[in-house]
Structure 1
Amino acid sequence: MELWNSKDAVLATGGRSTTDWVANGLSIDTREIEQGDIFVALKDQRDGHDFVAQALEKGAAAALVSRIPDGVSPNAPLLIVDDVLSALEDMARFARKRTSAKVIGVTGSVGKTGTKEMLRTALMGQGRVHAAERSFNNHWGVPLTLARMPENTDFAVIEIGMNHPNEITPLARMADLDVAIVTTVAAVHMAAFKDVDEIAHAKAEIFDGLRKGGAAIINIDIPTTKILQDGAVNAGANLIGFGQTAGADYQLQDAIIGNDTTNVTATAFGDPIMFKLSAPGKHLAMNALAVLAAAVGAGGDLAMSMLALQEFTAPSGRGARQTIELANIDGASLELIDESYNANPTSMGASLDVLAASQPVDNVGRIRKGRRIAFLGDMLELGPKEHEMHAELAQHDAIAQVDIIHTAGALMQSLHDALPVEKRGTWFADAQQMADKVHQLLDAGDVVMVKGSLGSRLALVVKSIQKLQYK
């Protein structure tokens, strides 16, 4: 299906096209480019112009560039602009204006990507849904997601992240939101903020891009709720609260956590509702209430959305579960919970709760007793109290139900030292050292949860556990 043609792209960007062309997608990575994509030559760690020739050889319909790259013919299909990122932003705005889609923005200290995926699931049967396949939530990810949006989209879900103040406002305005969600506000990216109130003000920037009268979906259980409410009111939003607090428009009554499910009872504007998620976690139940509020706010049907949510499973790196059939023990397995994409104190606590509720299997391994085991890596960007915040995890209630906690990284050494001796596993200097030893630390019947900030590279540990799989 045609997404862009040279005429519209020139109209959107003010650039110059060397030829006429038609494209059905956009890509910023030659490793993932598909036939008919526009290759966007962004400058990041590498200059995308160095890969234009390769992209065209792989079948790119055109390349968005600020100059004719070396080795590329002037007659090649190029859209030449003054600045590639600015042109991508122009294409994003053009794509937003030409569609009648209801656009939902999602931000928050925790749970953005999972909430985005939950919205995709909830709305899938109610129209054409557009959302990024991965966590494209930054200064290039948001415009790329918007520029990829087909004109006939019914619902779009845009994840918006930030590391510093004043990052969300321009992205939210670009998305021109009908609905905005703030999942929660927590002590994340503290290196750039003096306190959590500042983070709340930064998250409230999402309402700068909300259309007047649009729905602002806000967590009312947190200390900074009023900051968010004030931001929404100033934007002329229709304020909708979710949480456990009395008076929440979408109020959680109970969340029964199973090994791989969550059964939720709640109220929606006082009316009782019940639904099921195919993933465990009270935090997921809370986010699901925000999803239902947003779906209705975007014109979706509440009953259809609740029914669809039973198909929701956690994304890779954010709670995805996998049964590992062990190669060295016939007929035996362990369960892997992959939380390796991100970590902060709030999400770490939620993941430990999920691990605590899991059900190991006894009488199948060498030890004959299934265990709940955590492999934890450093939580990054927490600011001057980072060591203290790692150590405080030892006081989390779920620790009592976890059998062993292995840690990796200089910051996680603070947790290692604070843990009760009987819970204290091995401390490793880095994730690679941990990954090299996982085969010695696991047994059939175990449930193992792996979590850390992306920069702590706990994905290496996940891959090592997956290599234990019987082929």
Structure 2
Amino acid sequence: MTAPVTSAIWTSSAIAAAVGGEASADFEVGGVAFDSREIGPGDLFFALKGEQSDGHLYVDDIYTAGGAGAVVSEPVDGPHILVPDTTKALSDLAIASRVRTDAKIIGVTGSVGKTGTKEALFAALNRASMGKSHRSVKSYNNHVGVPLSLSRMPAGCQYGIFEMGMNHAGELAQLTRLVRPDVAIITAIAPAHIGHFSDVEAIADAKAEIFQGLTHEGTAIIPYDSDHYQRLRKAALRHTKKVVTFGFDADADVRAIDVVPAQGGGSLVTASFRDDGEGDRSLCFTVAEPGKHWVSNALAILAAVRAVGGDLASAGLALAELQGLDGRGRRHQIELKQGEPNTGRALLIDESYNANPVSMKATLGQLARENCGGKKIVILGAMGELGDQAQTYHEALADDIVASGAQTIILVGDEMAYTSAKLAEIVSEKLDHTPEISHVAGSSEALTEVAGEIGDEDVLLIKGSNYLGLSKVVTALVGGEY
């Protein structure tokens, strides 16, 4: 038997029983991964087979890295569990993890804001549970990421928070039946991935699939201010009687009754909670992340904390301590090293992970409100998966860019040709000043363009779809490698 793992979450016998496999030896594991590069001492490796890769090729590497064992469909040298299908085995282990826990489980989806909401909700519940909360990491929200995240959940957790994503109808239905959430949140509906759908209503229907997995007497949490509120509510009521709304409207169950700028950034919010049998109550708290969209996310988070019986005061404190995620709002003060006039410090806002029409509008709207001692610069990448509506949405982006006050505009990707042309039209017809506008093919060209533009006290926003690799621009600027 291998040496016992500190804080083991699975034994080989329990794994074998869950996945219907045969264990070659007795061992314990403290973590689970399907990427051999993430394996650490005591971890379990799932050797998944894909169209372009086979995890069995990396089994030797995981033992070298200290992996405790592997789930394989072919015999290997080293502790392992042999199964017919490793992908099915991962889902089976996820199901077993969900069955064995008494934790309150929360599922999060939405066209925008789901990763940030998931992370903030984890922080809110983990604070009060003294470390007994678990969540999916990174953006592991698909058909392999969700079961992996479930499999990693320790049996003794009090709370589990899982992000679920989709870009086609039917995908969320499968994921939510694995997660079986006690609480299911939809953050917002937007035309993300609309190239795979007939219209935004179809996206709302696909997001509403999350309610299909709700446990008995589970709670659905939906945005009252959404244009698709009634559609979401009807979908939720097919699976639960408990529907809680959040938003800025007076009729929302959890609503913001006052929002003012907070000292040092973010928002100071007073939220009201509709009577739950103990009388209406309110909570004043700070959201560290700036923007109205983050206030909305915070209301959804508080609604979920309340639904699982969590501590609202602790949640409010956690929201005040939030830090932006890499690629999703993290702020960097960067030292400028190019010589005059590019000396001093500038603020870089990293939104490089993803972009759709709604998130672009919200982020540019926040940029318009940023205090700036220098100039405002944007590097904006094309928005993917918009199908035959790509031109319409990219042209509409031009008005939001102008409203942001950006003086240097760098557009990246083919579809941004539509934005560039529309900006040129607006500049010639409506503006009494001429911003600097450039359109480049990729991230390396964007870095070259911006390197000589950044000055002291400038604000630089970088946002675009992940496939464009704008995170490389962020890494280079933050590391001074430009």
1:312 matched to which residue of 2?
A: 322
Q: 1:394 to 1:331 in 2, by over 3 A?
A: closer
The answer to whether the 8 A contact 2:464-2:470 is kept is: yes
Aligned position for 1:140: 144
Q: Is the 8 A contact 2:258 2:270 kept in 1?
A: yes
1:58 aligns to 2:65 (yes or no): yes
Give the secondary-structure state (helix, strand or coil) at the position aligned to 2:475.
helix
CA distance in 2, matches of 1:19, 1:257: 59
Match of 2:443 among 431, 437, 456: 431
Aligned residues: 457
Per-residue deviation, residues 134-162 of structure 1 (Å, max 9, x unmatched): 11100000000000000010111000000
Structure 2 partner of 1:367? none
SS of 2:218's partner is strand
3-state DSSP of counterpart to 2:302: helix
Instruction: Check if 1:302 corresponds to 2:312.
Output: yes
2:475 aligned partner: 463
Question: What is aligned with 2:285?
Answer: 275
Larger mean CA deviation between 301-310 and 174-183 belongs to 301-310
What TM-score results when the alignment is normalised by the length of structure 2?
Answer: 0.91
Q: For each residue in 1:111-151, what CA deviation from the matched residue of structure 2 results, as whole angstroms up to 9, or x when unmatched?
A: 01000011011112221110122111000000000000000
Which residue of structure 1 lines up, in the alignment, with residue 335 of structure 2? 325
The CA distance in 1 between the partners of 2:258 and 2:323, in whole Å, is 20
Counterpart contact for 1:212–1:237, Cα < 8 Å? no
Alignment partners' CA distance in 2, 1:216 and 1:33? 36
Which residue does 1:160 correspond to in 2? Answer: 164
Greater shift, 260-269 or 19-28, is seen at 260-269
Aligned mate of 1:26, from 22, 32, 36:
32
Q: Which letter does structure 1 place at the counterpart of 2:64?
A: E
SS at match of 1:275: strand
Q: Does 1:233 align with 2:237?
A: yes
What secondary structure does 2:102 align onto? coil
Q: Describe the SS at the equivalent of 2:38.
A: coil
Tell me the alpha carbon deviations over residues 407-446 of structure 1, each in whole angstroms, 9 at most, x when there is no partner.
Answer: 0111112112212432352111222211233211211211
Instruction: Give the counterpart letter for 2:226 in structure 1.
Output: I
Structure 2 counterpart of 1:50, one-letter code: L
CA contact (8 A) 1:438 1:464 kept: no
Instruction: Give per-residue Cα distances to partners, 1:84-121, cap 9 Å, x unaligned.
Output: 11100110111111111000000000001000011011
Name the CA distance, whole Å, in 2 between partners of 1:446 and 1:295. Answer: 38
Q: 1:358 aligns with which of 370, 381, 387?
A: 370
What is the identity, as a one-letter code, of the residue corresponding to 2:334? I
1:272 Cα shift?
3.4
RMSD after superposition: 1.7
Output the amino acid matched with 1:89.
S
Tell me the distance in 1 between the aligned counterparts of 2:213 and 2:314: 28
Give the aligned partner of residue 264 of structure 1: 269
Moved more, 32-41 or 391-400: 391-400
Return 390-399 or 152-161, whichever deviates more. Answer: 390-399
C-alpha separation between the residues in 1 aligned to 2:171 and 2:458?
42
Amino acid paired to 2:239: A
- Counterpart residue identity of residue 52, structure 1: V
Structure 2 residue aligned with 1:46: 53
Q: Counterpart in 1 of 2:9? A: 3
Aligned to 1:364: none
* Deviation of the 1:397 alpha carbon: 7.9
Amino acid at match of 1:267: S
| Cα offset, 1:257, TM superposition | 4.2
DSSP-derived class of the 1:55 partner: helix
Distance 1:447 1:110, change over 3 A: same
Is the aligned partner of 1:379 residue 2:383? yes
Q: TM-score, normalised by structure 1?
A: 0.94
Identify the residue that residue 208 of structure 1 maps to in structure 2: 212
- Structure-2 separation of matches of 1:377 and 1:316: 16
Partner of 2:277: none
Q: Which amino acid aligns with 1:155?
A: Y
Note if 1:395 corresponds to 2:407: no
Moved more, 131-140 or 142-151: 131-140
Contact 2:343 2:455 in 1 (8 A): no
Q: Structure 1 residues 228, 129: closer, same or farther in 2, change over 3 A?
A: same
Q: 2:203 maps to which residue?
A: 199
CA distance in 1, matches of 2:58, 2:118: 31
Secondary structure, counterpart of 2:327 in structure 1 = coil
Work out the CA distance in 2 between the residues paired with 1:350 and 1:257: 16
1:169 alignment partner, SS class = helix
Alpha-carbon offset, residue 327 of structure 1: 2.6
Given candidates 106, 109, 113, the residue that maps to 1:111 is 113
Query: In 2, Cα distance between the equivalents of 1:398 and 1:155?
Result: 44
> Which blocks of at least 5 consecutive residues in structure 2 are unaligned?
1-6, 275-279, 428-433
CA distance in 2 between counterparts of 1:257 and 1:317 reads: 24
* Residue 59 to residue 187, structure 1, CA distance change in 2 (3 Å): same
Which position in structure 2 is the counterpart of 1:131?
135
8 A contact 1:110–1:186 mirrored in 2: yes
Q: Identity of counterpart residues, as a percentage? A: 40
Asked if the contact 1:408–1:430 (Cα under 8 Å) also holds between the matched residues in 2, the reply is yes
What is the letter of the counterpart of residue 123 of structure 2? T
The aligned amino acid for 2:125 is: L
Q: What CA distance in whole angstroms lies between the structure 2 residues aligned with 1:249 and 1:257? A: 23
The secondary structure found in structure 2 opposite 1:212 is: coil
Runs of at least 5 residues in structure 1 that lack an aligned partner in the other structure: 362-369
Report what 1:441 is aligned to: 453
Deviation (angstroms), 1:195: 0.4
For 1:88, give the aligned amino acid. Answer: L
